[in-house]
Amino acid sequence: MLPSNIANYASFFLLIISIILLIVGSKAQLNSTFYDNTCPNASSIVRGVIQQALQSDVRIGASLIRLHFHDCFVNGCDGSILLDNSANIQSEKDGAPNTNSTRGFNVVDNIKTALENSCPGIVSCADILALAAEASVSLQGGPSWTVLLGRRDSLTANQTGANSSIPTPFESLTNITAKFTAVGLNTNDLVALSGAHTFGRAQCRLFSSRLYNFSGTGNPDPTLNSSYLTTLQQICPQSGSGFNVANLDPTTPDTFDNNYFTNLQNNRGLLQSDQELFSTSGAPTISIVNTFSSNQTAFFQSFAQSMINMGNISPLTGSNGEIRSDCKKVNGS
């Protein structure tokens, strides 16, 4: 009996090792040195184009990080958000969270052109979004991090997924948490990544219900600071088009810092989904908001790690997908 038991244990042990290697391998498919030999200047090229874009559009950093976020939450970080409509593709750009809202596609195209001129056919559009997110944050005062690379580009888009998987400004904290959990991100990731709203703008239509008719009550959201409410009502009149914009961070609107979290403590979160992090009774997010508000270093460290975590959502690697030559369309189309 002993030899067969030993054989069984040995087989079981080898199975466990194989599973561990498979898990580790899937995590290790992305790495920071992926382009070191094939396009060593990739990161600096991306950074240079964004620096130039910031000269005429101070919002562009926030817009670019949002593209990466909205890309990763739909079928993983595969550049699918960049694809235009075609005979075979319903563009994610026309999904409810993106239409008339996402921007910066021209800068992505400029980055792609610069990379193709330097090292044609090498750097994926999905990796451009990851590199652009890091450059955008660090150029506007935020942390730097080592971007893991090696993603490939999707051959299709998922507009239905864009409509259902991307967190929206109108959802409860419970729903938003569930959407983060669905892609393997936890509560700390949720709060840290929400801190990207420390810069950029939002259209009135995304929060005007808080100003006039919150949850059908006919009254403003009671969690809104009264003087902040007055300011926002001036920016967003009730009869307005809904496309005026307000600063996501009213204190330092174009700097990446931790003031977003202090704003939440003072009931000055712009979006419902922002303020809920602090104003939802008993929520586990409250203590994290307090930590990040009092300790910018802790926020920066968590944000960098959460960006890496988000960038690891279901990438296409190896021979899956392709390296698009034009981020807006599949090769050969």
Q: Please write the tens of the pLDDT for every residue from 22-67.
A: 444 444 489 999 999 999 999 999 999 999 999 999 999 999 999 9
Tell whether 116 is in a known binding site: no
pLDDT of residue 21: 41
Tell whether 68 is in a known binding site: no
Start-end of H helices in 195-247: 208-212, 226-235
Q: What would be the CATH architecture of the domain defined by 41-165?
A: Orthogonal Bundle (1.10)
Q: Tell me the one-letter amino acid at 111.
A: I
Q: How far apart are CA 322 and CA 153, in angstroms?
A: 5
Could you tell me the residue ranges of all domains in the chain?
Answer: 41-165, 173-310
Q: What is the reported pTM?
A: 0.91
Q: HSE, CB side, 13 Å, CA atoms: give it for residue 224.
A: 23
Q: Is 20 exposed, middle or buried (0-12, 13-18, 19+ CB in 10 A)?
A: exposed
Radius of gyration of the chain (CA): 22
Give backbone dihedrals phi and psi of 247, rounded to 5 degrees, phi first: -70, 130
Q: How far apart are CA 251 and CA 104, in angstroms?
A: 24
Q: What percent of the chain has pLDDT over 90?
A: 91
Q: Tell me the one-letter amino acid at 271.
A: L
Tell whether 197 is in a known binding site: yes
Sign of the dihedral defined by the CA atoms of residues 54, 49, 297, 127, in that order: positive
Tell whether 92 is in a known binding site: yes
Instruction: Dump strand ranges (E) for the chain.
Output: 201-203, 245-247
Residue 6 pLDDT greater than 60, yes or no: no
Residue 3 pLDDT greater than 70, yes or no: no
| Domains 41-165 and 173-310 are alike in CATH topology | no
Q: Please write the tens of the pLDDT for every residue from 177-230.
A: 999 999 999 999 999 999 999 999 999 999 999 999 999 999 999 999 999 999
- Averaged confidence pLDDT in the chain: 93
Q: How far apart are CA 224 and CA 264, in angstroms?
A: 10
pLDDT of residue 282: 98
Q: Are 246 and 235 in contact (CB under 8 A)?
A: yes
Q: How far apart are CA 81 and CA 75, in angstroms?
A: 10
Q: Is 68 a catalytic residue?
A: no
> Mean pLDDT throughout 154-161?
98
- CB neighbourhood size of 263 (10 A): 26
Q: Please write the tens of the pLDDT for every residue from 276-319.
A: 999 999 999 999 999 999 999 999 999 999 999 999 999 999 99
Residue 2 pLDDT greater than 60, yes or no: no
Closest of 27, 114, 102 to residue 71, by C-alpha:
102
| Catalytic-role residue among 70, 151, 152, 328 | 70
Residue 14 pLDDT greater than 60, yes or no: no
Strand partners, 247: 201
Tell whether 257 is in a known binding site: yes
> Mean pLDDT throughout 143-150?
98
Residue 5 pLDDT greater than 60, yes or no: no
- Residue labelled with tokens 């910018």: 296
Q: How far apart are CA 148 and CA 126, in angstroms?
A: 11
> Mean pLDDT throughout 163-181?
98
What is the CATH number that goes with domain 173-310? 1.10.420.10
pLDDT of residue 13: 53
